[in-house]
Amino acid sequence: MAGQKKERKGSAGCPFSKNDVIDLKIDDIGNEGEGIGHYDGYAVFVNNALPGDKIRALIMKVKKNYAFAKLLEIVNPSNLRVEPKCSISARCGGCNLQHMSYEGQLEYKENKVKNCLVRIGGYDEAYVNSIHEPIIGMTNPFNYRNKAQFPVQQTPDGQIAMGFYAGRTHRIIPTDNCNIQMDESNHIAKLVRMWMTEHNISAYDETSHTGLIRHVLTRIGKSTGQIMVCLVVTSKKVPHTDSLVDILLKETGMTCICLNINSEKTNRILGDKIIPLYGQPYIEDNIGDLCYRISPLSFYQVNPEQTVKLYNTALEYANLTGNEVVWDLYCGIGTISLFLAKKAKQVLGVEIVPEAINDAKVNAQLNGITNATFLTGAAETVAAQVAADELYKDIANPDVIVVDPPRKGCDSKLLETIVNVKPDKVVYVSCDPATLARDVKVLRENGYEMKKWRACDMFGMTGHVETCVLLCCTNS
């Protein structure tokens, strides 16, 4: 019976067991956007539930002090709840917040960053609030992604399924219309699926490691209209590619069609080898007044409109006068580096992906920028080498360091190097509030104080958030 307390089998005191149905009031939201309710002191995590919801839920898994449940019924909806635009949003692992108002999403993301800075970073909540600047929201939180990666599978009845994985699975939820992808990507995925069906092209099976097509990757130059289509395949011998090229060339803006070879038994999407089928092996796009060349393997922000706002915040925090040496670590294809180079004396960009560094050098040339140097290697390794090597004496003492690391945050050796070279400012651009807070705490313990922070919503309808933080050296 809903709401009835039952003792967990084998664990005295727990108010429920697996498969119990309970009534629950959701009072909080977790880091992944899941609703959190409390039932006799036990936290219950429920996907697709929101603070303020009164729900009926099925207990799926019971742990010592918490449980996971499945939403069965919304008895009384939260005032944050809206009707999702996408019919599969509750099942697909891509958009976990479409059922929340956009204003609610922005508040949730700001609070997520605040909570991490307090709980993990060790900052006083009042101080965090006092140096906070309002989150940068999106004008339109739909159809913003310039990059799509559609996994491909064969269904039991032999059909081609293309779409996105259900949350925490490798089971595809088929769709021809993802609301956060640009329309061109959705259309191209449909064309490729029809081509595969017509010519009996097999999809990759990750269990048997058979089949040909693993993923369909698209990239769109939002300002240029250029389109890239890259098929991730297990073999360079793909039949009927001439037919595919003919189909795709009917699309306005088609600039690059290629294969990416990934024959490994891995969850990694892309392999290392690119085989061109048509056109140049890259597209170009603009961020602000700068032009960037983007290859299939390069990292490039998926939301260029918000990227301009995020990078302008980083530039504002750096407050360059034209006399500074700046390091841009984890620089990718030089997106932030070139923004900085327009205002700095000299910029060093460091990135571990060789293809991205090649693009960064080309991008500097495309934009007539001559005061940027790009080096390939792990940020923690190259930064230490530059600081110690006489060869780099002109850029060995940075006034400002900008870091934009992956989700795992900065390597501890890199943080050590930052502390040793002692720049006046560190501008930290983060895609994970938890690792941001961890690294900010380390820098704080070594003579840096957080002076400003601002969140930026790059990924509407999801729980992800970007943050820009300014830290200043307090040691003379």
Active site members: 431
Q: CA 262 → CA 156, 270, 275, 355, distances in Å?
A: 24, 6, 12, 17
Q: Is 233 exposed, middle or buried (0-12, 13-18, 19+ CB in 10 A)?
A: buried
Q: Which runs of consecutive H residues, i.e. helices, occur in 263-378?
A: 304-318, 335-341, 354-366
Whole-number Å distance between alpha carbons of 453 and 130: 10
Tell me the HSE value of 292 on the side-chain side, using a 13 A CA sphere: 30
Contact 401, 427 (CB under 8 A): yes
Closest CA to 355 of 230, 181, 226: 230
DSSP state letters, 385-432: HHHH-GGGTTTSS-SEEEE---TT---HHHHHHHHHH--SEEEEEES-
Whole-number Å distance between alpha carbons of 24 and 122: 32
Closest CA to 418 of 393, 447, 376: 447
Give the strand pairing for 325-329 and 172-174. unpaired
Contact 50, 2 (CB under 8 A): no
Task: List the Cα angle 133/305/50 in 5-degree steps.
Answer: 60
Whole-number Å distance between alpha carbons of 392 and 369: 19
